[in-house]
Structure 1
Amino acid sequence: MKTIKINGVDKPVTTLVQGSDYFKPDIYDQVRTVLDRYVAKGGNTIDTAFGYARGESEVAIGMWLEERNNRDSVVILTKGAHPFGKNGPRVNPECITSDLMTSLSRLKTDYIDLYALHRDDPNVPVGTIIDVLNEHINAGRIKAIGVSNWTTERIEEANEYAAKNGKVGFTFNSPNLSLAKANEPYFPGSISADEDYCKWHEKTQLPLLSWSSQARGFFTGRFTPEDRSNEDLVRVFYSDQNWERYHRAEQLAKEKGYSLIQIALAYVLNQPFPTCAVIGPRNEEELESCFGGSEIELTKEEVIWLEHGKK
């Protein structure tokens, strides 16, 4: 399986990342099956977060890591410092440290390969954030640091601070990136990569690990412009431009002999900068579809055509 390199991590990171937002100990048999199947196909990277399933996602993954005794061959991406309810931002040294230590305990590990801040708080100086994360890097608790749902301006500011002060900066970013472009944030405070955002990634070559890489099912073929049953999908992804992208992806899929959703996945994995896609297959058929999509090679012209309708 294809991999990318992320600075700070000594293992290659597979371009398909197994999502786990529904994992819980009470469905552990399913969790085990999903993870075993994913690893057997060559995947090695699991995405989770302090807040997924009220923390139970990390607990279930920790159970699997302990049972399989395979921690050294797996890349764990987890996230912290997400706001809770109406309590406001939690991007501060105390919350970052508390969430990290709890995640380590749940995952039954003494280090996290890829640790990301789930949200930003522009009121907190980047130096404060970089300093506390570097304390944990120096203590061996984190291998590489990144962010999810940050603006490129804040990432750049943080990395400039790190460079000037001899600290480790952010070496990966995890916003939403998909062929369907978001009309508005799917979740409060979340960020989707638009054209300018992607141009910044192309310039910096910072790896991008996309969540909702297949636009929450927009490209499954189950939806049409007339079907407005999924309110969130309608709110975020229904637009004339996205339906045009849908039809172009459908056309290219027929030409190449793949499915529509595989072409949508290939769009994410054929950007002019390193990318990974978080996927959520729950059965073997869905996993095979994702692996097939990850092998598709698209030209630069095809990528541009899918998005803009011109070459």
Structure 2
Amino acid sequence: MEYISVKGLDKKVSRLMKGTDYFYHNSYDKAAANMDAYLAIGGNSVDSAHIYCGGESEEVLGRYMKERGNRDQIVILTKGAHHDQNGPRVNKEAIRHDITTSLKRLQTDFIDLYALHRDDPNVPAGEVIEILNEYVKSGTVGAIGCSNWTWQRIKEANDYAAEKGLTGFTFSSPNLSLAKPNEPFWKGCVSADAETCAWHEAE
């Protein structure tokens, strides 16, 4: 297994990340067996989100870690602030709600990697950085990142962080496919392309 380092974390992060968007209570044994097999080959990073499986994804992962007693071995990446039927939720109240709920479901007091699941271009990127830094400073979150943010918005956020001496985004999780879609798979979904990858490599 190969590992990478993510600024803000002491743990190494396995390059192969385990998805959990099929973790339901009624198939807990399957999810637990999958996790056991994944850890056995050296994997340690697990991807979840506040909205996955209506919240059951995080709950099942929390149950698994509690039963196995292996929370310290696992790097949790979970996401929040996804839009809902009323529109974007990239704001202080929604982020606080989603982080608090995720911690409870995961039965932990620390999220290794926390990402915003969607962006709201109407909210200044610096404002978002200020909100997330509260959780970094309190020790609730290790590293902050984003999913489905354009590279331009990520740069705006990190330029602000550098100017203010704050923690910026240290990871990004866009849709990644060998084929670039002509239209987003879901509203607000951002897919990596040659331009995006070139910018990240330059950074």
The CA deviation at 1:198 is 1.0
AA paired with 2:156? E
Structure 2 equivalent of residue 131 of structure 1: 130
TM-score (norm 2): 0.98
The CA deviation at 1:194 is 1.1
Contact 1:93–1:128 (8 Å) recurs in 2: no
TM-score (norm 1): 0.64
SS at match of 1:144: strand
SS at match of 1:189: coil
Summarize the alignment of residues 1-311 of structure 1 with structure 2, pairs less than 5 Å apart: 1-85=1-85, 87-204=86-203
C-alpha distance in structure 2 between counterparts of 1:180 and 1:111, whole Å:
36
Aligned CA RMSD, in angstroms, stands at: 0.7
Unaligned runs of 5+ in 2: none
SS at match of 1:168: coil
Q: How many residues align?
A: 203
C-alpha distance in structure 2 between counterparts of 1:142 and 1:151, whole Å:
22
SS at match of 1:137: helix
Q: What is the aligned-residue identity percentage?
A: 57
Contact 2:24–2:60 (8 Å) recurs in 1: yes
AA paired with 1:45? S
The CA deviation at 1:125 is 1.2
C-alpha distance in structure 2 between counterparts of 1:192 and 1:59, whole Å:
28
Moved over 3 A (4+): none
Contact 2:126–2:156 (8 Å) recurs in 1: no
SS at match of 2:79: strand
For the pair shown, which has the larger CA radius of gyration, 1 or 2?
Answer: 1
C-alpha distance in structure 2 between counterparts of 1:56 and 1:176, whole Å:
22
Unaligned runs of 5+ in 1: 205-311
Contact 2:50–2:98 (8 Å) recurs in 1: yes
The CA deviation at 1:183 is 2.1
Per-residue CA deviations over 1:92-124 (Å, capped at 9, x if unaligned) read 011011100100000000000000000000111
The CA deviation at 1:178 is 2.2
AA paired with 2:123? V
